[in-house]
Amino acid sequence: MSNVITESSIFRILTDVMHPDFPDRNLVVLGMIPDVYIENDLISVTLALPSLVDSNDQALVNIVKQSIEQIAEDLAVRVNVTQMEPDQLSKFSALTDGSQVDSNPLRHINTVIAVMSGKGGVGKSTIAGLLASSLRQRGFRVGVLDADITGPSIPMIFGAHQMPIAGTQGIVPVCSRTGIKLMSINLLLSDKDQPVVWRGPLIGRAIQQFWEEIEWGELDFLILDLPPGTADASLTVMQSFPLDGIVLVTSPQDLAGLVVRKAANMAKHLGIQLIGLVENMSHIICPKCGERIFIFGESQVENSAEMIGTPVLGNLPLDTLLSVLCDFGKIEDYHSEELDHITDQLIDFVSTKKAMSSKAVPAR
């Protein structure tokens, strides 16, 4: 059994462990499991507590250890107890107070949206870039964080090649032609074809640094382009970023739908709201008669949306123009009615959520 145990599977198990004082919050969401490491026959888990004199410390240690032992019977489990760092304690306090406070002077971001696919090759980065461009065309201040550390593509589709510079308080993002702020690991590499061969913990730390050490400044929207899958990088984003919601991207095949449903269930498990599903490469439009041709078979997106309980935001066609624009770094020049429709729903979701949030907080 030990050969199938991974750091990610340990994290997933611990998302079922609720804090005894906050039964609606699990230990992973609260930032109490900053590290999991497997070496040989030993699983080492770090349990970060607000205070080392916490009356629940031994009880939590026992719960964590027993939860892991249920799936790793032939491995030893060690729980290392540490005290939370100031930033961890701030996040824990915000979550347990029922509000999230982001006081970092490097950023004043109103809305953080993640774009996630679960499966590679469905056009997730393209959708992230299109949403950012469409929002910018409407006058919003927008940034894009390329969290796909090992497969970054955001700089290419925006035609960004310059290296970021150091500001007075952090790294200054690169700006696209229309003023979208961009940050990607590929912008920091001297050779754009150089692979990033890092293990999960290093990737996670890089993503956190992109959030903590970048001078994002004033933004209405920050769009996060997540890597495919439900492993360490996606988990880091969901744990560390104050996400307002997730846009899921899929393609017509039911195989893609199967994998995106896994991503949806991960987001739900971590308490993050789904905005909806975008079906990319849904069809092609005949240039002569305008008929829709479903080259990958009939769409399965409605079934997937129903199964995970989220709306279908739109069905984008396989468009040669879009492919060419992305290859030449001009994604911001792309326009379509379907993209406008998707953007309308994203803005409506955010407006409704912010309105409900303001009503839920009593006036002082």
Q: What residue ranges do the domains of the chain occupy?
A: 2-96, 107-360
Percent of the chain past pLDDT 90, that is, above it, reads 24
For position 220, what pLDDT does the model report?
92
> Domain 2-96 belongs to what topology?
GMP Synthetase; Chain A, domain 3 (3.30.300)
HEC sequence for the chain: CHHHCCHHHHHHHHCCCEECCEEEEECCCCCCCCEEEEECCEEEEEEEECCCCCCCHHHHHHHHHHHHHCCCCCCEEEEEEEECCHHHHHHHHHHHCCCCCCCCCCEEEEEEEEEECCCCCCCHHHHHHHHHHHHHHCCCCEEEEECCCCCCCHHHHHCCCCCCEECCCCEECEECCCCCEEECHHHHCCCCCCCCCCCHHHHHHHHHHHHHCECCEEEEEEEEECCCCCCHHHHHHHHHCCCCEEEEEECCCHHHHHHHHHHHHHHHHCCCCEEEEEECCCCEECCCCCCEECCCCCCCHHHHHHHHCCCEEEECCCCHHHHHHHHCCCHHHCCCHHHHHHHHHHHHHHHHHHHHHHHHCCCC
For position 92, what pLDDT does the model report?
78
Could you tell me the pTM of the whole model? 0.68
For position 45, what pLDDT does the model report?
92
Check whether domain 107-360 has CATH 3.40.50.300, yes or no: yes
Mean pLDDT computed over every residue of the chain? 81
pLDDT in tens, 236-272: 777 778 888 999 998 877 666 677 788 888 888 777 8
Q: Sorting pLDDT into bands at 50, 70 and 90, what band is 135?
A: very high
9-13, 176-180, 327-331: the lowest-pLDDT one = 9-13
For position 357, what pLDDT does the model report?
56
